[in-house]
């Protein structure tokens, strides 16, 4: 924050929580190297962090998962129970268990996460530093904290709401005609946002759904499994060669770029291992641009919360070859209003809706069988 009167910059105060002295030192060095941030406290376990969070306020918390006495998940639960607000960035491993725990942490209010590298050289690399600081900035400037102001709907209430929308959709013509596909882009705050969208989609949806969520390799499978367990619509991590089917959600694999190609007259998932684009991999622009040559008559493009502008160039490019219907999440419900703001600035957006209204807009756009 900058005060124009005396031009004094106030650095964002960061709490670092990790039981490894090496990790604390590396993270503190990275954070303090950026003029936007300053590490003001360190804690070596969850108990010590909880004591600090009870009496102090921080602009951001960098939190390890595995720690003695009280681990990161237990700390997040305590913060929820005691209604202590914090903007939390998790530091997670890419193991299967680590990915599942990360999903749980995001459920408990963590805003985003950084993958802890095993290689000490990469830990000290410029690429890791840039990624770390970008995520930390998104977390500390987020509109949301770990304590949600939105009511939590029971599964029964959610299913009843979806059924009402399905009944409405059956009585009206879909907004989008012909063979259609839904393509969703999201980043920071995306996993939580997707839990408000995907479980509200019916299995009878008359379109396949593609999702690019910025995540590293090893984490998207856990995200897909989590969403599938909450949903009636089928959700899976997209595999090479998957044939797209209506009523199925395909989540792009972390660490690769997802494309749609045509084989034997059918739309098929393929992957490329090209370098990151827009600083991310998977990149939504690849997905949208690959749909230019697909057999789909119209594409429903959905842009949810996220830092940066991924998706915008791809949708602009797609619009030159296909009919599109663009839905953007509104500013007030976005964790980070970057990607939706970018696509809104193009003038291509047909509907701006709150997070709670995204699923309904998708259903009414493509229809149900």
Active-site residues, by number, are 187, 214, 310
Measured on CA atoms in the order 221, 222, 227, 228, is the torsion positive or negative?
Answer: positive
249 to 51, 201, 206, 312, 355: CA distances (angstroms): 42, 10, 12, 21, 18
Q: What does the DSSP assignment read for 21-45?
A: HHHHHHHHHHHHTSTTEEEEEEESS
Q: Does residue 106 contact residue 195 with C-beta atoms inside 8 Å?
A: no
Rg (CA), the chain: 21
Token digits of residue 67: 């720690």
Q: What are the two backbone dihedrals, phi and then psi, of residue 224, each rounded to the nearest 5 degrees? A: -65, -45
Q: How far is C-alpha 316 from the geometric centre of its chain's CA atoms? A: 21
* Cα gap 284→274, rounded to integer Å: 13
* Cα gap 169→172, rounded to integer Å: 5
Measured on CA atoms in the order 27, 30, 33, 35, is the torsion positive or negative?
Answer: negative
326 to 120, 181, 249, 302, 365: CA distances (angstroms): 43, 12, 18, 6, 10
Token digits of residue 113: 């996460």
* Cα gap 186→302, rounded to integer Å: 9
Token digits of residue 127: 């690429």
Query: Which residues does 320 contact at the CB level (< 8 Å), separation at least 6?
Result: 292
Which contiguous run of DSSP H or E holds residue 100? helix 96-107
């Amino acid at each position: 924050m900058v005060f124009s009167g005396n031009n004094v910059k106030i650095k964002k105060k960061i709490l670092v929580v990790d039981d490894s002295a090496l990790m604390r030192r590396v993270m503190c060095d990275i954070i303090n190297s950026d003029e936007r941030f300053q590490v003001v406290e360190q804690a070596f376990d969850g108990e010590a962090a909880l004591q600090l969070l009870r009496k102090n306020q921080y602009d951001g918390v960098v939190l390890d998962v595995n720690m003695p006495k009280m681990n990161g998940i237990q700390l997040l639960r305590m913060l929820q129970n005691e209604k202590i607000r914090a903007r939390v960035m998790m530091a997670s491993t890419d193991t299967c268990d680590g990915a599942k725990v990360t999903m749980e942490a995001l459920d408990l209010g963590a805003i985003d996460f950084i993958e802890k590298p095993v290689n000490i050289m990469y830990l000290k690399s410029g690429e890791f530093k840039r990624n770390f600081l970008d995520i930390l900035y998104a977390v500390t400037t987020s509109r949301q904290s770990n304590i949600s102001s939105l009511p939590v709907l029971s599964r029964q209430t959610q299913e009843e709401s979806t059924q009402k929308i399905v009944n409405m959709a059956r009585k009206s013509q879909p907004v989008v005609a012909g063979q259609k596909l839904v393509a969703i882009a999201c980043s920071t705050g995306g996993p939580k946002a997707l839990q408000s969208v995907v479980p509200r989609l019916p299995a009878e949806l008359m379109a396949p759904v593609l999702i690019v969520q910025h995540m590293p390799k090893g984490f998207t499978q856990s995200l897909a499994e989590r969403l599938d367990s909450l949903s009636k619509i089928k959700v899976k991590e997209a595999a090479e060669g998957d044939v797209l089917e209506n009523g199925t959600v395909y989540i792009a694999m972390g660490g690769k770029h997802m494309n749609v190609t045509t084989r034997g007259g059918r739309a098929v998932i393929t992957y490329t291992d090209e370098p990151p684009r827009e600083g991310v991999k998977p990149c939504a622009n690849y997905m949208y641009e690959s749909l230019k040559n697909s057999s789909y008559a119209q594409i429903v493009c959905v842009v949810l919360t996220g830092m940066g502008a991924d998706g915008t160039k791809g949708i602009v490019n797609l619009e030159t070859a296909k009919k599109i219907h663009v839905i953007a999440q509104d500013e007030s419900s976005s964790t980070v209003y970057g990607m939706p703001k970018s696509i809104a600035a193009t003038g291509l957006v047909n509907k701006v809706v709150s997070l709670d209204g995204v699923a309904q807009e998708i259903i009414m756009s493509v229809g149900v069988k």
